[in-house]
Structure 1
């Protein structure tokens, strides 16, 4: 039986993760923390609405006793300065990790990053996410696990990015998958994250292929 905290449950990735967590009978308690309600109702789901989801001072000891954090909160770097993107992607994430790990030292902290993430990259988003990954792994060498999906196809009524570019890309997702490009979907990513939340992962950085294989049960024992 596993208790999880979910951040970003109203975003595309978070919606997929929350859906799978609600369907999973071995997940006994879900705490969703975000700026607005997920709109879901379930006996095992509770929600905390905060103007700043990284400021958990008002939640206090209610954060204790959780097994894993599924951190799905994120934003596109398009049109953002590096300073603003870092504040949301890196600074907020690390404040949350520090607060949760203080009360749950053995917690598994699962961070949704992205294919191409690299702290030495010339691309701003990849560099900032890479720096965030490194900082999380330093804070929790045993419990932190990075997920690097490629294109994430929204399923089960979940809405993805609404720009014309993304809509076109979603439409050709099957073709991209056939070309062996990094493609996954919200259901697969959710299942893979829950598997790691429950069992941990020997591998600390999971590629798009790892995510798909893990959800399908073909990656061995959580990344080995």
Structure 2
């Protein structure tokens, strides 16, 4: 029998992270969940543990509590809109790599799933800064000694109904989601599909992979 998933989830006070947490709580293949936040996510469940930790650039005080997990669903991220390039790099690349390096040292048998974005530039060249930074982050994550690394590139995300961290603007066009997806199915993915794909990634036979929308949907079905 396959081992149950024991997952660390970041970003659960945001829309994507909350959705992933919600699906993991419902999924019988997920045995234990650790969330690391600067403020409480507000969820309580027998298989959920939460650590409130302010400095994501220094996990030394909580390292012992990060051992024994076989998956990380990294959903923490910031928008580049209006942000200085150096600050965006620090909060996107430097922070992510610090967390990942710590976890790869503590849990070398871990599957690391990183939420990147459609349009990310793996060449690390071009004129769109966020795409270059995300591309470098993906590339550097795949160099770390994890068992597996999956970089998720969702496009437009259909939220899970009823969750508290859904962005307000989704309320105005979600009724159009089925129509828009029918027109361009490779740009639209549901948050439930992202979550299921992350859980299923832990059972994959791949070691390093970039997942576009169509790949995420396919993995969610497995």
TM-score if structure 2 supplies the norm length?
0.90
Q: Compared with structure 1, are the counterparts of its residues 201 and 168 closer, same or farther at alpha carbon in structure 2 (3 Å cutoff)?
A: farther
**Partners of 1:204 and 1:198 in 2: CA distance:** 13
User: Could you list the per-position Cα deviations for residues 16-38 of structure 1 after superposition, in whole angstroms to 9, with x for gaps in the alignment?
Assistant: 11011101112111000011111
**Partners of 2:207 and 2:107 in 1: CA distance:** 20
Q: Compared with structure 1, are the counterparts of its residues 54 and 7 closer, same or farther at alpha carbon in structure 2 (3 Å cutoff)?
A: farther
Q: Compared with structure 1, are the counterparts of its residues 23 and 211 closer, same or farther at alpha carbon in structure 2 (3 Å cutoff)?
A: same
CA RMSD, aligned part only? 1.8
Provide the residue aligned with 1:74 in structure 2. 77
Provide the residue aligned with 1:207 in structure 2. 212
- Whether the 8 Å CA contact 1:110–1:197 is kept in 2: the answer is no
Provide the residue aligned with 1:177 in structure 2. 181
Provide the residue aligned with 2:194 in structure 1. 189
* 1:52 to 2:58 alignment: no
1:142-161 to 2 correspondences below 5 Å: 142-158=147-163, 159-161=165-167
Which sections of structure 1, spanning at least 5 residues, go unmatched?
218-224
Provide the residue aligned with 1:139 in structure 2. 144
* 1:22 to 2:25 alignment: yes
**Partners of 2:10 and 2:37 in 1: CA distance:** 6
- Whether the 8 Å CA contact 1:153–1:160 is kept in 2: the answer is no
TM-aligned CA deviation for residue 121 of structure 1: 3.3
**Partners of 2:111 and 2:39 in 1: CA distance:** 24
Provide the residue aligned with 2:100 in structure 1. 97
The alignment partner of 2:180 has SS state of: helix
* 1:120 to 2:122 alignment: no
Q: Compared with structure 1, are the counterparts of its residues 140 and 175 closer, same or farther at alpha carbon in structure 2 (3 Å cutoff)?
A: farther
TM-aligned CA deviation for residue 160 of structure 1: 3.0
**Partners of 2:12 and 2:202 in 1: CA distance:** 16
User: Could you list the per-position Cα deviations for residues 122-179 of structure 1 after superposition, in whole angstroms to 9, with x for gaps in the alignment?
Assistant: 21111100000001011137411101110111122134333x5x65554533232011
TM-aligned CA deviation for residue 197 of structure 1: 2.7
The alignment partner of 2:143 has SS state of: helix
TM-aligned CA deviation for residue 65 of structure 1: 1.1
TM-aligned CA deviation for residue 200 of structure 1: 5.4
TM-aligned CA deviation for residue 192 of structure 1: 0.7
